[in-house]
Chain A
Amino acid sequence: MRIKRSMARRAVAALGVLALAGSLAACGDSGGDSASGAKSDKLTGVGPITLATGKDTTGTLNEILAEWNKAHPKQKVTLTELPEDADQQRQQMVQNAQTKSDAYTILNLDVVWTSEFAANGWVEQLPESEFAMDKYLAPVVKTAKYFNKLYAAPYASDGALLYYRTDLLKQAGIAKAPTTWDEMNADCTKVLKLPAGKGMSCYGGQLDKYEGLTVNFSEAVDSAGGEVVGADGKPNVNTPEAKKGLDFLVDGVKDKTIPKDALTWKEEESRRGFESGKVVFLRNWPYCYSLMANKKDAGNKVSGKYGVAPIPGLSGPGKGTLGGHNLAISKFAKNKKTALDFIKWFTSEKNERTWLTKNSQAPVYGSLYDDPALQKQFPYLATLKQSIEKAEPRPAIVNYGDATAAIEEQAYAAISGSKSSAQALKDLQANLTKITSKDK
């Protein structure tokens, strides 16, 4: 008993000391916690740096880094691999910033994180003069800016494509892909009358309750002439245009032109749905293009029977949602001069070409989309360029995590029929206003 008691006492004492130390340490750093105090340092310092990015499964990244390291032995760049999952990548980068660690020099940011990282003062502002701004696709630059200042270098882009069944459209006597929702539904009605179209639905997208729904919802709203968040940064979804956009999805699910299954679809599920012949039209990213060509895939019925077009809209071609990644420099890192040099080199046209040919990653330079040799290798390039040029970034909101959750919440309620689209948009407007308002 005596031993136990004294041990317990000691444990408590140790805990107390630790707690005290912890709270003292916390008091010490809370003063500098607010981001306003962090001034923009000049991009100086030469030496080794790190690149924090998600997993690269192709090995292309290592090849490119090796090339840099060979030419710059004193300014070596080391790869810091983050988890594959985007949420976890963001979390690690946020943690790195909050502990003001210099472990990551260059951050590979998803385009929707730019506002959050810039507003919190976690990344450096970049000089626009150092980059060939006129060579980039215009919407790509938008994703790298916050409050009209450049915080990241465009690195990879991504845009929506409408995949369609060329064989079925041909059988139905349709010469070209539809450009409006009405056209698409009319074409689909013709296809479903064919014997080959029996049991099919018209259109599929990514409508499960996750980030993909935010993308699909914003796309529908933008394509109907509405906007989720206006140029002034204020949400603007309680409008007739936004309702028309949301109703395209809601009505589609109701009258079964969108299969009910699509409520469980993410990128891959929707691709399988299209490949197994469940839908005539599918909205998805370019990465599917080469995968769908794979004849060995058992459930793949569409190999060689599909084409791509820009996504349709209410009264003409629609507006896609921009995906992609940008590179930013962590505010707390060392050797920022090297980091800037590296980013410039890494996102050069030459390297972007390598990424495209080896990894089919959508480049940020307009010229690469027009290159005939590349177009031959990737037949979707011209369409993708159109798509990206018309595309809108997702709402630039500092608390993007909350915003996307609110959008998912209301859009999902509407398309699954538990709320009217008018009510959902009204609620969404209220939620987003709260999230974007100054004091939360």
Chain B
Amino acid sequence: MTAAVQAPTPPAKAERPVRLDRRRGVGRFAAALLSPTVLVLALVIGYPIVSALRLSFQVTHQGINPTTGMVENTSHVGLANYAGIFSGDSASQFWNAFWNTTTFTVAGVAIETVIGVAMALIMHKAFRGRGIVRASVLVPWAIPTAISGLLWKWIFQSDGIANTVLHTHVLWTTEGFHAWGAVLIADVWKTAPFIGLLALAGLQVIPGEVYEAAKVDGSGAWRTFFRITLPLARPALVVAVLFRMLDALRMFDLPFVLIGAHKHSVETLSTFAWYEASNLRYGTAAAYSTVLFLYIAVVAFVFVKVLGADLIGRGVEGKKK
């Protein structure tokens, strides 16, 4: 903006302050117009975050008076809720939830990206009934997660379709690796179309001439895909993968509905924090939520810095040469 102000040529020396004033006036006006939005955002986003942070440092000790049976709480400010992550009874549960959250995210997003890109490539092809295919691929994405959790619960129940089709008798919804797998399958089914949709948007901006040129140069299908399609669709794909990662890190309803509330094999950080809160340990719940919040923030930051900004920047520069 400063560059734009300096740009006008010197002759109009008398006009400059006037313009600046006008700009300043416009700026103030814009700020005034936006201030209700900012205020609302501060109220509904800023305050809860700050309040949760404050709560996470509040350590509560509970005792029961042996004569009256009444609960007596004492609370002080300290780091015990965070220290509980590394030691104490809930440490192993926390790290189990942390591990599940991470593995769901890594495995889920990786599979979803591959399937999503494949879907996008198919949807991008010109063929009869393409509209129907595009619409139908998006149906899983349109179903609320809790509902799709319920659908998959019926599929994975002991006498459900999954066991009938596979000729097995796996009790998917019990504890174990199979429960983790069931959640992963349901998650991939639901969200691969999302990546597919965003990747399709990326594919559609690639000009046809690039492919024609590649064809003339005698580039094979794989080479074309890795050298042209993927790099050019990357900006859209990076956004899609980032969104999915942020989403997967706070996964809650799918394992909760599909497998159940207290199952360790699929417990995520969100469900663990929920469990703590529902047992009135708000301090620890807030601490775990804060850790999750920071974890998501770090992942997003690293992803944008490493994969997003730099790689695309280099890609664009490379093209210019």
Chain A residues near B (Cβ < 8 Å): 1-3, 6-7, 10-11, 14-15, 18-19, 22-23, 26, 30, 33-36, 87, 90-91, 94, 118-121, 146-147, 208-210, 260-261, 263-264, 269, 398-399, 401-402, 405, 408-409, 412, 416, 418, 434, 438-440
Contacts and interface: CB of A to CB of B under 8 A. Distances in A.
B62 interface: yes
Interface string B1-45: 110000000000000000000001001001100110011011100
9 contacts: A14-B39, A15-B47, A120-B70, A208-B260, A260-B158, A261-B171, A402-B279, A405-B279, A418-B175
B27 A408 contact: no
Contacts of A440: 61-63
A363 B157 CA distance: 35
Contact of A15 (B50, B66, B72): B50
A269 B280 contact: no
B173 interface: yes
B159 interface: yes
Nearest to A209: B262
B124 to A, nearest CB: 38
B216 to A, nearest CB: 47
Given A14-B42, A36-B70, 10 more contacts: A2-B1, A2-B24, A3-B27, A3-B31, A19-B54, A209-B175, A210-B261, A401-B278, A440-B61, A440-B63
A33 B72 CA distance: 9
Contacts of B207: none
Nearest to A276: B159
A119 B70 contact: yes
Nearest to A278: B159
Contacts of B159: 261
Please give me the 7 A-B residue pairs with the lowest Cβ-Cβ distance, nearest first: A147-B69, A261-B158, A19-B50, A401-B279, A3-B27, A15-B46, A14-B42
B64 interface: yes
Instruction: Kindly state the interface size class of chain B when it binds its partner.
Output: 35 or more
Contact of B54 (A26, A87, A94): A26
B168 interface: no
Contacts of B87: none
B290 interface: no
A261 B159 CA distance: 8
Contacts of B27: 2-3, 6
B46 A91 contact: no
B158 to A, nearest CB: 4
A210 B157 CA distance: 16
Contacts of A119: 64, 69-71
A11 B64 CA distance: 44
Contact of A10 (B35, B171, B262): B35
A263 B42 CA distance: 47
Nearest to A396: B69
Contacts of A3: 27, 30-31
A117 B27 CA distance: 55
B112 to A, nearest CB: 27
A416 B24 CA distance: 71
B74 to A, nearest CB: 7
Given A35-B73, A416-B175, A22 B280 contact: no
